[in-house]
Homo-oligomer: A and B are copies of this chain.
Amino acid sequence: MLDSNVTDKLRSIVGSEHYKDDSEALVTHSYDATPMLQSLPDGVIYPSSKDEVSAILQLANEHKIPIVGRGAGSNLCGGTVPVHGGIVMVMNRMNKLIEIDTDNLTATFQPGLNTKEFHAAVERKGLFYPPDPSSMVISTLGGNIMECAGGLRGLKYGTTKDYVIGLEAVLPSGAVIRTGGKLYKDVAGYDLTKLLVGSEGTLAIITEATVKLLPAPRYKKTMLAMYKDIYAAASTVSRIVGSRIIPATLEFIDNPTLRVVEEFNRIGLPLEMEAVLLIEQDGMDEESVDRDIESIMRICREEKAEEVKVARSAEEADKLMKARRSALSTLARISPTTILEDATVPRSRIAEMVLEINRIARKYNVQICTFGHAGDGNLHPTCTTDARNPDEIHRVEQAFEEIFEAAIGLGGTITGEHGVGIVKAPYLEWKVGAPGIELMKGIKMAFDPNGIMNPGKIFAKASRKRLVIQR
């Protein structure tokens, strides 16, 4: 509970209708898209400007009140669950698209802007912003930046980090910094821009961002390759990239995922296949896109695909991509609890990783579907389970722990695009080592000496134990 002296000040900063602490507001901001995590905040605030953000942070810093920045709450690592209480700062009033600069190929916006809406605005100018997290219909760009969102186009186009070139951010002290700019080259000191991207709200609140844009590709083509042998599908991925072809999208969908997606979408996916690759190439020239797709089809056949087919129309291609993007929400319909993970390996180890996931699922007798961005080694093993069954949940936790271990053993990482948050914090040391954790804590201290920024995230109290927090 916050002191009424503090809440009065908060109300005076944003106007009393923009600070809420009724139970409805608190409950709806006690969780995010991550299953089995819930913790009530003490208040929810909706600032409308960087000056308001600055005043709020100064006050919170003075009183050592936790501040949890929040976009749409679509993250999957517990990143916006206020585990230490405090104030959830919702950025949705700061949702302005400030500028699309067609001379410099940049866009500047406030953090609360919806990702999909931004994509549409950029595309209307013949331009292209590649990062496309599957949550983009609801997610905000600020959330994407804080989690360094990836998506289906990471292999060819990179992730959020590769596009953010300038930020305005408010430090816990209330000081406002500006990093980078409309600059394709800038080496003036340490790169605070890239450091803030993916910092999960633990360092500062961003209030404005500038991103690079690309000319929009003029053509694209979408295809499916279907396999009875999971290993053949996975090894196709290495063969394609080894042949010097970088598709825009190269997605892997296993049989259990396929069945569920087909059941709810009815788009004619082949239920008897063990794995499907969904592949898209784009480019400025029809001929080069066609040539790449033909080469890919030949490789798929050489790698023993049962069937290879190209989408006959833009509508069919669109349906396929939408079905893939809906995999998580579709899987969520078939079980009370759906836990989606994010293990990532070097692309050449995809086949081994898929086999490991399946072995581990059998070992712990849990149901794991696997789909994901095979082209960049980023798999989403997804467990359909039931939080009310503690015995099964315990086995699920053990299975995921072993999956993270396997990923790291294959030269991979515990999280490719979802972030550390609460969920991966106990495993971070496995990836970055004790000295890596110490450096990160030192960086945190430089930004946030009082530890008010999203406390309880990234850094775990103890390693090697999967946490389920229900405050």
Contact = CB atoms under 8 A, between A and B. Distances in A.
A195 B447 CA distance: 15
A17 interface: no
Interface stretch (A19-27, A63-71, A225-233, A408-416): A408-416
A198 interface: yes
A184 B446 contact: no
Contacts of A413: 181, 183, 185-188
B104 A431 contact: no
A192 B184 CA distance: 21
Contacts of A6: none
Interface string A415-455: 11111100010001001110111011111111100000000
Contact of A378 (B185, B377, B418, B446): B185
Interface in A187-201: 187-192, 194-195, 197-199
A16 interface: no
Contacts of A424: 188
Interface stretch (A83-91, A282-290, A381-389, A394-402): A282-290
Contacts of A418: 187
Contact of A185 (B175, B244, B285, B344): B344
Nearest to A435: B175
A413 B285 CA distance: 36
A189 B440 contact: yes
Given A287-B287, A348-B104, A195 B190 contact: yes
A139 interface: no
B436 A447 contact: no
Contacts of A119: none
A215 interface: yes
A415 B244 contact: no
Interface in A131-173: 147-148, 150, 154-155, 158-159, 161-162, 171, 173
A432 B187 CA distance: 11
A215 to B, nearest CB: 4
B188 A432 contact: yes
Nearest to A185: B416
Given A103-B348, A215-B244, A288-B284, A179 B436 contact: yes
B411 A182 contact: yes
